[in-house]
Structure 1
Amino acid sequence: MRPSTAQSWRRWWPLVALGALVVAIVVVAAMAYLRPKPPPAVALPLRAAGEVELPGGGSRFDYASLDPDRGLLFVAHLGASEVIEVDVRASRVVRVIPDVSQVHGVLVVPALHRVYATATGRNEMVMLDEGTGQAVGEAPTGDYPDGLAYDSRRNAVWTTNERGGTETVIDAVTGTVRGTAMLGGEVGNVAYDPVSDRMLVDVQARNELASLDPSTLAVTRRIALPGCDHDHGLVLAPAQRLAFVACDGNARLLTVALESEAVSGTADVGRDPDVLAYDLGMSRLYVAAESGWLTVLDVRDGQPVVIGSGFLATDAHVVAVDPVSHHSYYPVPAGTTGSPALLDREPVP
């Protein structure tokens, strides 16, 4: 660099740096402004009913699945690559099932006495004996398996391969891979509708809900989700012919009428909604968010109405509900003592 050029650069450098700083501040401010804000706080219709200290460090938990007949809750401790089994009736940890690499999804099927878990670190689904916790088989999946669903009519487990944009269909007893469904983009959660005998899958890359024939694994319908950014969470109310979809990009909950296959309502929920749970007996929907915000909605005349919305706990993005007791459960990295814990909440009368 010539001396004159260097001198000129030194002269202008402070202004260039100041300009870059101003641009950075504007960008950060714009992102903060555009980021979804939490909805107005409304007292949660819940009260503390107990707390179970969980083993291991306070690393990330993911999905949870409950066997309501036995009162056993299976929690995916993703950060520790283990599944934690909790007796929610006795409020104690039954066992820790290790070596489920980066476990995300977990699903108990009481009729088969089996627990299924996605070992995301190995791109596998692991099958566990519900009574002993022993691994009884595994099956290869697509890239980054996450959520799970059970097709009771065909005795098949579906794994959502988020990055792969596919669903792997696996025999629930033998672990044999029956086939792969192609969705055409990154996918979110999957659920089985026993009324229409269809699988529903969030295609979060396309902001749509795909309906598939579980016999042919073909997409038969793509339901547009206007107003949704990145649909990830999904739960069904089959008897009411409703699907609830959580859009984590813009903190919206969409209601889809399954008969008309169209969005019939929207609601604001906590930032970064993740796991949903539906209590059929109370017609009550729970939406747990990465932000620790919980939204509770009652379904009235086919539409969910917010009855409670507020911060529950840091990283309380997982929820499971007991259809018998109507208690809801939330694994969190830090409970009241600062250790990992399972929070137990019961409805306020």
Structure 2
Amino acid sequence: MALIDTATLKEIGRAKSGDTPDGIAYDPALGKAYVSNEHDHTVTVVDLAGSKALAPVEIGGEAGNVVDDASSGKVFVNEQSHGELVTIDPVTDTVTDRTKVGDGCEGNHGLYIDGAEQLAFIACEDNARLLVLDLKSRQVTARFDTGATPDVLAYDQGLHRLYVAAEDGTVSVFDEKDRSLAPVASAKLADHAHTVAVDQATHRVYFPLQDIGGHPVLRIMEPAK
């Protein structure tokens, strides 16, 4: 994992991850980064001050996306081999809870945590579903269809809007209300449009696309409010 100074855009450090790093979560309070390693069943813990990898957290299966939740002070990661949402205590870097996501989800990969509402949004990459998991009751409360092989989730906190980007190029949009989701729209953006990010200040949505006319393109879109 490379550490980049955003002011100078220069590399200031490097730390070794595990096999097939997939997602990164940042805990600003503790100065740590968490890297989910898809194929070696671990989450790498990086001390950012020293650019040093600490002892990895073993999660017992294939690791999907990882999220730091400041509201609960926990780190969450999808464990895909057994269909579990794993909770990590970032103070001790140990697993403290495992929650089954249910039979309706195959390959729980994409993840976003709404800490204020205590909800987890989970994308199931092998059967094109999106789950709403209530972190209070640890029960799945809603399921929705997405494009094939959903990957990255991004959330606009001001608009309360969730974006789900899928490998088949489909982007699905949901509004959060009443501790659940309501579908807004779903359409194909471009082949392999599986990564999405939201600028919380401007509400712009960013899609890095690997091949548009033979070239990589960063597509920036304005939401319909």
Mapping for residues 97-112 of structure 1, pairs under 5 Å: none
1:194 maps to which residue?
Answer: 70
Q: Distance in 2 between matches of 1:348 and 1:141?
A: 39
- The CA distance in 2 between the partners of 1:284 and 1:134, in whole Å, is 33
Alpha-carbon RMSD across the aligned residues, in angstroms, is 1.3
Counterpart of 1:286 in structure 2 is: 163
Q: Does 1:295 align with 2:172?
A: yes
Specify the alignment match of 1:238 in structure 2. Answer: 115
Q: Tell me the TM-score normalised to structure 2 length.
A: 0.95
Which letter maps to 2:192? D
What residue is the counterpart of 1:265 in the other structure? Answer: 142
Q: Aligned match of 2:191 in 300, 314, 323?
A: 314
2:51 is equivalent to residue 137 of structure 1? no
Local SS of the residue matching 1:189: strand
Matched residue, 2:208: 331
Tell me: higher relative CO, structure 1 or 2? Use CA pairs within 8 A at least 6 residues apart: 1
Give the aligned partner of residue 106 of structure 1.
none
- 1:233 deviation in Å? 0.6
Return the alpha-carbon distance in structure 1 between the equivalents of residues 138 and 28 of structure 2: 23
- Alignment-mate amino acid for residue 268 of structure 1: D
User: Does 2:59 match 1:175?
Assistant: no
Q: TM-score scaled by structure 1?
A: 0.62
Which moves more between the two structures, 326-335 or 160-169? 326-335
Aligned residues: 224
CA displacement 1:133-186 (0-9 Å, x = unmatched) = 222111122222221001122110011111110011111121122321110011
In the aligned structure 1, how far is the partner of 2:210 from the partner of 2:51? Answer: 32
In the TM superposition, what is the alpha-carbon distance from 1:254 to its structure 2 partner?
0.7
Q: Which has the larger radius of gyration?
A: 1
Classify the secondary structure of the residue corresponding to 1:347: coil
Partner residue of 1:163 out of 24, 39, 57: 39
Matched AA of 1:323:
Q
Q: Residues 190-227 of structure 1: CA distance to partner in whole angstroms, max 9, x if unpaired?
A: 11111211110100111110011112222111110111
Residue 338 of structure 1 deviates from its aligned partner by 5.5
One-letter amino acid of the structure 1 residue matched with residue 35 of structure 2: T
Are 1:348 and 2:224 counterparts? yes
Partner of 2:64, secondary structure, is coil
Which residue number corresponds to residue 154 of structure 1? Answer: 30
1:232·1:245 contact (CA, 8 Å) conserved in 2? yes
Looking at secondary structure, tell me which structure has more strand per residue.
2
- The aligned counterpart of 1:42 is none
Greater helix share, 1 or 2? 1
The alpha carbon displacement at 1:339 in A equals 3.4
**How far did 1:281 drift?**
0.4
Cross-structure match for 1:204: 80
Separation (CA, whole Å) in 2 of partners of 1:198 and 1:149: 11
- Cα distance, 1:213–1:333 mapped onto 2, change above 3 Å: closer
Paired with 1:190 and 1:133, the residues of 2 have a C-alpha distance of 24
Output the CA distance in 2 between the equivalents of 1:150 and 1:340: 27
Residue type of the partner of 1:286? Y
In the alignment, structure 2 segments of 5+ residues that lack a partner are none
Using the alignment, how far apart are the partners of 2:214 and 2:37 within structure 1? 34
Distance 2:130 2:29 in 1: 29
Whole-angstrom distance in 2 between the partners of 1:131 and 1:327: 21
Task: For structure 1, list consecutive stretches of 5 or more residues without a partner in the other structure.
Answer: 1-124
Whether the 8 Å contact between 1:236 and 1:278 is mirrored in structure 2 is no
Structure 2 distance, partners of 1:280, 1:297, is 12
